[in-house]
Amino acid sequence: MNTTIKDVAREANVSPSTVSRVLAGSPRISNETKERVLEIVKRLNYHPNAIARSLANNVTKTLGLVLPSGEEDLFKNPFFIQAMTGISIYAQNMGYSIMYTFGKSEDEELAFISNYINSKNVDGIILLTSKSKDKRIQYLNEKGFPFVVIGRPEAQENVLWVDNDNYKAMFEAVNYLINKGHRDIGFIGGSEERNMSKDRLRGYRDALYKSSIEVDSNLIYEMNDFNEECGYEASVRILQYKKVTAIVTTDDLLAFGANKRMKEVNVNKDISIIGFNNIPLAQYQDPPLSTVDINAKQLGYYATKILIDSLESKEDSLNYHIVETKFIERESTRVSHK
């Protein structure tokens, strides 16, 4: 079995990018770290491949951005547009260009990532999502190729990432509803493979536990996607089971679907709904949607900053950054249920 840069990094207790910098002769790496890495390189008989050597010596000033859906679906969720805006702003300020690809499946995304690396056209890669057992992150780590991910990765060691505190944001949103008198609160989330979805569901559960409210699994729905259709379908099932007084969702589009169903059965003024993302259309719902602003533009901005700082070996570079959220109260949660 061939030794990889990840093996060297693990033995030396450093990141793969640090190993790359040592092999490239970077003056920013301490002598102690250089000696330790080089000793392990020799002991493990590691030989960097031609791609790695090329990347160590050539800079394209271009970043590869992997989008998790087809081009025709991209504009249905404004989160991606907002994140891409932040990415473009920081990249342009630093003299970097962005190269985009759209993957309709994880395998397709992996193929694009492989092409990015082999073509030597980009210095680093930005992933807009993070999920359980993420093959893309595993592959990039094995290759020792610089990347950053928007979303908390499962294994945070040697990974650059940016995210919100999704657990805290949902906990506070549910606690807000509880303090207004709600006890029967439904939950509509996206795919459970997304780490963000898992963190928000955990926040929902813990907020109920804290107030001694039983968690009813029949009020929890994790759908396959973040769209209006899924929100509508989940709210139909919830209302068939129980007349809840509030519903929290993990995306504004899910909340739009839930609100559509509430209007059909004429209870949209009676059931409080909270979304996530604070997309522009949220304020124009009937009633206007209360939501958690996750500052998607800042997520993209800081993801790009962290990656470029790492590429340029800045001494004060960080491995991760947490972007603050803000609860936006609108008419959809102003009715008190006692």
DSSP one-letter string for 152-188? --SS-TT-EEEE--HHHHHHHHHHHHHHTT---EEEE
Which residues on neighbouring strands pair with residue 322, listed in sequence order?
Answer: 163
Fold (topology level) of 166-294+326-333: Rossmann fold (3.40.50)
Given a contact cutoff of 8 angstroms between Cβ atoms, the answer to whether 124 and 311 are in contact is: yes
Could you report the per-residue pLDDT of 108-128, keeping only the tens digit for each?
Answer: 888 889 988 888 889 999 999
d(CA 274, CA 251): 9
H helices of the chain, where?
5-12, 16-23, 31-44, 50-57, 71-74, 78-93, 106-119, 135-143, 166-179, 195-210, 228-241, 252-264, 296-311
Q: What is the pLDDT along the chain (338 residues), one digit of tens a residue?
A: 577 888 888 888 988 878 877 876 666 788 888 888 888 888 888 876 545 544 455 678 899 998 876 545 566 678 888 999 999 999 999 999 999 888 778 888 888 899 888 888 899 999 998 888 889 999 998 888 999 999 998 877 779 999 999 999 999 999 999 999 999 999 999 877 788 899 999 999 999 999 999 999 999 999 887 889 999 999 999 999 998 999 999 999 999 999 999 888 887 678 999 999 998 889 988 889 999 999 999 999 999 999 999 998 876 778 899 999 999 998 766 554 44
Identify the pLDDT of residue 338: 47
Q: What superfamily would CATH give domain 1-58? A: lambda repressor-like DNA-binding domains (1.10.260.40)
Identify the pLDDT of residue 75: 61
Identify the pLDDT of residue 175: 97
Given a contact cutoff of 8 angstroms between Cβ atoms, the answer to whether 115 and 123 are in contact is: no
Identify the pLDDT of residue 50: 46
Identify the pLDDT of residue 208: 97
d(CA 338, CA 201): 25
Identify the pLDDT of residue 203: 97
The answer as to CATH 3.40.50.2300 being correct for domain 62-164+297-322 is yes
Identify the pLDDT of residue 76: 67
DSSP string covering 17-71, please? HHHHHHHTT-TTS-HHHHHHHHHHHHHHT----HHHHHHHH----EEEEEESS-H
Evaluated on CA atoms 54, 55, 57, 63, the torsion sign reads positive
Residues of the chain with CATH 1.10.260.40: 1-58
Given a contact cutoff of 8 angstroms between Cβ atoms, the answer to whether 142 and 6 are in contact is: yes
Identify the pLDDT of residue 52: 53
Q: Is the pTM value of this prediction over 0.85? A: no
Residues of the chain with CATH 3.40.50.2300: 62-164+297-322, 166-294+326-333
CB proximity list for 42: less than 8 A, separation 6 or greater:
none
